[in-house]
A and B are shown apart, each in its own frame.
Chain A
Amino acid sequence: MKDNAFKMAEYGKKALTAFLALISIAYVFPVFMVVVNSFKENTFVKTETFAMPTGESFVGWANFIKGMTFGGYPFVNSVMYSVVITVLSTALIIVVTSMAAWYITRVDTDFCRAVYYLCVFSMVVPFQMLMFTLSKTADNLGFNTPWTIPVIYLGFGAGLAVFMFVGFVKGIPLDIEEAASIDGCGPLRTFFSVVLPMMKPTLVSVTILEMMWVWNDYLLPYLVLDITEYRTLPIHIQYLKGSYGTVDLGATMALILLSIIPVIIFYLACQKHIIKGVAAGAVKG
């Protein structure tokens, strides 16, 4: 009897694994289709979407070459702007909000609490509520270039970061910082050489969450930046598909492929941190 039950459980597990494997294949399928179609001639993408590129439909690297200057805008520029904006914004958010969170927790005046509750409040405000006024404000103050837009990201995205950092700092015992200050460390030194290293797990989580958000964000940069000059990857791809008369699907797929390859490599390399970061961010949110 017991043996049978055990065997049943084993079979059940094998069936489950097989089933999950099937779902996994279905999961990878859309991305695989992007790869397949990026090598096809435009007209075949629509008529024979699921066929392999063979014979007359196969165009080799032509779509990729065409994609480089597709839509009259160099693809390389949009990669560059996406990287600049993501790196600068994330770095700025991390440094500024972690410092503010430490100040808010340790000083803890009524003003600090007000700032903290406003940050929490900002997390439930949808972007549409302030997209018009925010893009005008950014324009008027000159925060409308890839090098200055990080300030806007900091302002709009501070809520979650401050919330997560405050949650973490509250759990750090005061003794360590007291010891540091008795030993003659000023606040700056205490923060950067004592507090910040302790914050590492939250630092990683916030970095991951903010990077994922900024890299994929479409509407904020679209409304704030001058898009004839500065296009991030999502803006470029939307522009090609959305407002272009005759869309070259093959070349669009080639660009989509090029834009997701680095993300997937990054994901496979930092998978553990990314998954931990998401779990940590969610549990606190």
Chain B
Amino acid sequence: MKRRRDPAAVNSDIIRRPIQRCAPIFLWPMVAAFCIGFIWPFAQGLFLSFTKFKTTSKWTWVGLDNYVKALADESFRYSFGYTALYAIVSVILINVLAFAVAYALTQKIKGANLFRTVFFMPNLIGGIVLGYIWSMIFDGLLSGYGKSILTDSTWGFWGLVILMCWQQIGYMMIIYIAGLQAVPEDMLEAAKIDGANGWQTLFKVTIPNVMPSITICMFLTLSNGFKLFDQNLALTGGYPYIINPDGTSVHTTEMLALNIYNTFYGQNTGARGVAQAKAVLFFILVAGLSILQLRATRDKEVAA
């Protein structure tokens, strides 16, 4: 990006001019698809969140009405709390366990490659399929007690946590291994010579050095946690429901993404404006968290 001002920039005109003439081949296909697949739907979605609509072409302006309704919706607030709780639990568990596994695998033990292969394997399987594999396992465990994962919301929560740990530990482990392998050997040796014990070395030398990996993994697990949809849909689909006396219902294991989906495609097509407003709030939340978290952990990297 700073290339223009450095001396080499003069030469790069040799390259820039001819490429610029080829914009229709190089740039326009991507920009066109990007407009269709991202920019236009995003702008339209933002706009429609301020309207009442059933289809994208028939709308009436209602201002902030949808946002008021979305925030007043009990099921939406419930799913927000549920998602936040899930995200906190899963971020901590996944990162601690993935780091521990990565640390163990970098201790020059036998069969490290085989273990790595096994732990990463669940990432290749899609969320829907994972959900159904685990619903079979949990139902098998619970059937002895006359229960099912669909009837017990406590199991629904921990079931999802177990499933996601099973899937994501391997992914984060790969990133932590890459980080751990980059810790300078002489630093570790110096710590040993200075008489630091294992824990001291871990907390004073190793962890500060893998801060970049920790940043990335925290960021990934947090945003994965908030955006989770497929596994939630396949494992419990929001069940069990609690039906309120006034006819509304709360889906006790429903996360934000699924709640938005159900509002869009539920029987009440009049609620699509509200669903779009929920989606905008969801977007602001996810984007905001990503930015905040990156900033917070970047600061720590500098300090370390």
Q: Which residues does A use to contact B, with CB under 8 Å? A: 13, 16-17, 20-21, 23-24, 27-28, 30-31, 33-34, 37, 45-47, 49-50, 96-97, 99-100, 102-104, 106-109, 112-113, 115, 118-119, 122, 124-134, 136-138, 141, 143, 151-159, 162, 174, 177-178, 181-182, 186-188, 190-191, 212, 215-219, 233-234, 237-238, 241-242, 249, 252-253, 256, 259-260, 263-264, 266-268, 271, 274-275, 278-279, 282-283, 285
- Chain A residue nearest to B20 in the complex (CB): A107
Interface string of B243-269 (1 = CB under 8 A from A): 000000000000011001100100000
Q: Which residue of A lies closest to B134 (CB)?
A: A30
Q: Smallest distance from the beta carbon of B287 to chain A beta carbons, Å?
A: 4
Residue of B nearest to A113 (CB): B1
Q: Are A100 and B136 in contact, CB atoms less than 8 angstroms apart?
A: no
Q: Quick one: which of B27, B117, B137, B233 contacts A104, CB cutoff 8 A?
A: B27
Check A129 against B23 for contact (C-beta < 8 Å).
Answer: no
Known contacts A30-B137, A122-B38, A129-B279; is-contact A218 B109 (Cβ 8 Å): no
B26 touches A99 (CB 8 A): yes
Known pairs A132-B275, A267-B124 / 19 extra A-B pairs, C-beta < 8 Å: A27-B166, A30-B166, A31-B133, A49-B139, A100-B29, A100-B31, A103-B22, A107-B19, A124-B290, A127-B227, A133-B48, A133-B56, A154-B33, A186-B18, A219-B230, A233-B129, A241-B234, A242-B234, A285-B220
Closest Cβ of chain A to B212, distance in Å, is 8
Q: Chain B: which residue is nearest A101 at the CB level? A: B30
Contact A256 B283 (CB under 8 A): no
Task: Kindly list chain A residues whose C-beta atoms are within 8 Å of the C-beta of B132.
Answer: 237, 241, 252, 256
A256-B129 contact, Cβ under 8 Å, with A107-B20, A128-B260, A141-B36: yes
Q: Which residue of A lies closest to B46 (CB)?
A: A129
Contact A45 B126 (CB under 8 A): no
Q: How far is the CA of A138 from the CA of B29 in the complex (A)?
A: 16
CB distance from B166 to the nearest CB of A (A): 7
Which stretch (B64-72, B87-95, B153-161, B171-179) binds chain A? B171-179
User: Nearest-CB distance from A138 to chain B (Å)?
Assistant: 8
* B178 in complex: contacting residue of A128, A274, A279, CB < 8 Å: A279
Check: B52 CB closer than 8 A to any chain A CB: no
Residues of A within 8 A of B34 (CB): 115, 118-119, 122, 154-155, 158
Note all chain B residues with C-beta closer than 8 A to A151. 33, 36-37
From the candidates B14, B109, B115, name the one contacting A182 in the complex (CB within 8 A): B14
Instruction: Give the distance to chain B from A101, nearest Cβ to Cβ, in Å.
Output: 9
- A–B Cβ pairs within 8 angstroms, 10 of them: A13-B107, A33-B133, A33-B136, A33-B137, A103-B26, A132-B45, A134-B41, A155-B35, A263-B125, A282-B175
Say yes or no: is B15 at the interface (Cβ < 8 Å to chain A). Answer: yes
Q: A136-B55, A181-B15 are in contact. Are A126 and B104 (CB under 8 A)?
A: no
User: With the chains together, A100 CA to B111 CA distance in Å?
Assistant: 42
**Which chain B residue shows the least CB distance to A103?**
B26
Q: Is the CB of B121 within 8 A of A154?
A: no
